[in-house]
Amino acid sequence: MTPVEGVELDGALAVVTGGAGFIGSHIVDALVAAGARVRVLDSLVRGHRGNLASALASERVELVEGDIRDLAGVRAAVDGADVVFHQAALWLLECEADPRAALDINVVGTFNVAQAAAEAGVRKLVSASSSSVYGEARRLPTAEDHPFDHRIFYGATKVAGEELLKAFHAKHGLPYVVLRPLNVYGPRQDYRSAYVSVIPLFVRKVLAGETPIIFGDGSETLDLVYVEDVARANLLAATSPAIGAYNVATGRETSLTQLAETILQVMGSDARPRYEERPGKLVSRRRGGTERAARDLGFTAQVTPEEGLRRLIEWVRQDSSRERAGAS
């Protein structure tokens, strides 16, 4: 196969599936800052045009409304692209609620993106996987060679996506990187819907003057990685000659109790969380290995949880104020 070279982003055409979503819109912002032209493909089911307001104002970003399950639409979106960032996916809790949709979107959709990228001669495909592929960690920090040991449909779809990209690389020479982010948080994270993760749910409770709830005994840990760090990792993956799977992590554990205390402190609240029995079992500890990404991609997380949570909380406050103003 032809040796892989990194993509020069200045002047390149980059396609971002799911680019109006939480992580995808931050990738779009980073690409605009790097001088790229960007085509966003998004169904706008969970993504929002508002997430792209600044990027669209640059006049170097095009938003195409479409679904990755539509191969013809994906082919049209990817046509002429130098690099593709694949972020479109059904989220974890939604996958558990509707496994058939998880298959159609996360597996068939990823196949469509890879097929279109291979046909278009894309120079690099950077695809979102997840630390969910590891399941309960057998060792910490959890490096990329940890066996797949998930127990959920979401994890199964992400493993399938990774294996599909390996096959496209072997058969068609499609250069790819899959990134396995740990616990991503930051501005534009959904804090309104039924499918929210622990951080926005906690912030929402405190803002509403309600008692924040920790499910479990609070000892479970997260590896909190800020969304702008994740976006930067995606660009580094595109510009590097790397092939394969990489964690996007800080290598630092934060317990749910520590997380709650930090959020309450930043928000100036004297509330105390209530502990309740967890419905079902979650992974007890997360701490991602960081050596491989540092060595091959030049990626090291820069934003601490304390600073990142401060930024997230400020964004939620501003967003809530805008929503209230719009409703009045």
Residue 251: closest CA among 220, 287, 284, 227: 287
Using the predicted structure, report yes or no on whether residue 168 has a pLDDT greater than 50: yes
3-state helix, strand, coil in the chain (%, to 5): 45, 15, 40
Predicted pLDDT at 194? 59
Answer yes or no: are the C-beta atoms of 186 and 313 closer than 8 Å: no
48, containing H or E segment: none
* pTM check: above 0.75: yes
Residue 77's CB is within 10 A of a number of other CB atoms, namely: 25
- CA 269 vs. chain centroid, Å, equals 29
Count of C-beta atoms within a 10 Å radius of residue 322: 11
Residues 6+ positions from 78 with CB-CB distance below 8 Å: 15, 84, 113, 116, 117, 120, 122
Which pLDDT does position 195 carry in this prediction? 55
What residue has token string 């496209």?
168
pLDDT at position 2? 47
The CATH class given to the 13-184+225-251+286-301 domain equals: alpha beta
320 or 7: which carries more pLDDT confidence? 7
Q: Is the pLDDT of residue 144 over 50?
A: yes
Average per-residue pLDDT for the chain? 94
Please report where in the chains the tokens 């622990």 appear, as a residue.
Answer: 198
Catalytic, 195? Answer no
Identify the weakest region by mean pLDDT among 119-128, 215-224, 238-247, 312-321: 312-321
Given a contact cutoff of 8 angstroms between Cβ atoms, the answer to whether 7 and 238 are in contact is yes
> How many whole angstroms separate alpha carbon 60 and alpha carbon 50?
16
pLDDT at res. 320: 80
Amino acid letter for position 10: D
Q: What is the DSSP letter of 195?
A: S
Three-state secondary-structure class, residue 256: helix
The pLDDT score that the predictor gives to residue 1 is 44
Which one of 134, 154, 185, 191 is the catalytic residue? 154
